[in-house]
């Protein structure tokens, strides 16, 4: 008991001193008041170990994206209701990652936060390390405007980080399916040694394939990842920066390029000329 009292006192001292109870860089969030709307029920807060209580098995994926905290509240106005969920992740890349897992490329995209969309009584957006999910009931024909008003107001309470991850600009535009980019936080391409990466879908004259970028922590990290990959697919060779044309037993034709801390590549692109062109376009952006 005494130990715990001391612990609380020390924690409070940290708070007063300015020490973080949130992750470094995270900004405390509080739901705003909305004119004419009242709060129904209590604020619910879920930490990583309790997220199962709210989204059941879906929690696993959020945990992969370094989920830190979820706050949930419901607003009501007569028969209308809006449920607001604010997920905080470790950083903007991870918030984009989980958002990218759930967005539908055909949705009605909006200039909201870094990106958002409206679809069938749902409005979701990301901003900084936050992923905001709004849903409505009984809002009738005004549904879109109501959800957008909530989204814009909540956006004002979040950190003013309104850009998508910069690395997305490295993806060549020729053939890229809009809003198909994803950030995979762990086990990229199904291999544990590729710790994370960005990937996008392409469709060119009916040929479907994917392009990707892995950003290592350093050139040595990228080299180590490439070495492990070549060992995994049993095509070990001397490592040097440059192009690798490979056959992945699970994923087919692979073309990789390693330079500095980056590995980028194409998957299932059968035209050698197109592979080469894509790899060069990546290089032009990633290695200026």
Partner 1 sequence: MEQKRVMGRRDFLKTTTTGLGGFAYLSANLTRPPDAPDKFEGTRVLGRTGIRMPIVSMGVMNTDNPQLVRAALDAGYVFLDTAQGYQRGTNESMLGEILKDRPRDSFFIATKASLPKDQTTGGYGPDATEEAYTKKIDTSLKSLGLDYIDIYHHHGTWTRGATLHGPILSALQKAKQAGKIRWIGVSTHRNEPEVVEAATDSKVYDVALAAYNFRQQHAAEVQKAIARAAGAGLGIVGMKSMGGNRGGAYASTQIDARACIKWVLQDPSVATVICGFTTFDQMTLDLAILKDLTLTASEREQLRKASLAAGLYCQGCGACVGQCRQVLPIPDLMRAHMYLYGYRNLVAAQDLVLSLALPNTVCGDCGACPVACTNRWNVSERVRDVIRLRDVPTSFFA
Can you give the binding site for partner 1, defined by CB under 8 A?
Answer: 1, 4-5, 7-8, 11-12, 15-16, 21-22, 28, 41-45, 47-50, 52-61, 63-64, 66, 69, 72, 101-104, 137, 182, 184, 186-187, 189-192, 232-234, 249-251
Residue placing its CB nearer to partner 1 in the complex, 266 or 286: 266
- The least CB distance from residue 64 to partner 1, in Å, is 6
Q: Rounded to the nearest 5°, which phi and psi values hold at 195?
A: -65, -30
Residue placing its CB nearer to partner 1 in the complex, 46 or 286: 46
- The least CB distance from residue 254 to partner 1, in Å, is 11
- The least CB distance from residue 288 to partner 1, in Å, is 31
Residue placing its CB nearer to partner 1 in the complex, 232 or 281: 232
- The least CB distance from residue 242 to partner 1, in Å, is 24
Per the document, the length of the chain is 288
**Could you tell me if 232 and 193 are in contact, meaning their C-beta atoms sit under 8 angstroms apart?**
yes
- What would the two tokens of residue 145 be? 């405007």
Residue placing its CB nearer to partner 1 in the complex, 52 or 109: 52
């Amino acid at each position: 008991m005494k130990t715990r009292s001391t612990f609380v006192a020390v924690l409070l001292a940290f708070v007063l001193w300015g020490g973080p109870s949130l992750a470094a860089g995270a900004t405390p969030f509080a739901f705003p008041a909305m004119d004419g709307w009242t709060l129904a029920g209590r604020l619910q807060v879920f930490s990583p170990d309790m997220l199962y209580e709210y989204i059941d098995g879906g929690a696993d994926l959020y945990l992969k994206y370094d989920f830190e905290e979820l706050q949930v509240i419901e607003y009501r106005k007569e028969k209308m209701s809006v449920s607001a969920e604010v997920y905080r992740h470790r950083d903007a890349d991870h918030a984009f990652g989980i958002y990218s897992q759930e967005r539908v490329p055909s949705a009605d995209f909006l200039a909201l936060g870094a990106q958002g969309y409206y679809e069938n009584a749902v409005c979701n957006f990301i901003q900084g390390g936050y992923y905001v999910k709004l849903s409505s009931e009984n809002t009738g024909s005004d549904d879109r405007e109501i959800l957008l008003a909530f989204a814009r107001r909540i956006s004002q309470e979040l950190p003013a980080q309104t850009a998508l991850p910069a690395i997305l600009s490295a993806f060549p535009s020729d053939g890229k399916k809009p809003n198909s980019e994803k950030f995979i936080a762990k086990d990229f391409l199904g291999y544990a040694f590729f710790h994370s990466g960005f990937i996008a879908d392409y469709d060119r004259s009916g040929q479907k394939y994917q392009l990707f970028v892995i950003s290592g922590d350093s050139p040595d990290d990228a080299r180590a990842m490439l070495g492990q990959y070549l060992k995994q697919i049993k095509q070990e060779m001397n490592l040097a920066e440059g192009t690798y044309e490979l056959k992945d037993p699970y994923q087919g034709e692979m073309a990789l390029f390693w330079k500095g801390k980056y590995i980028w590549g194409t998957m299932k692109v059968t035209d050698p000329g197109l592979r080469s062109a894509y790899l060069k376009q990546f290089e032009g952006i990633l290695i200026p």
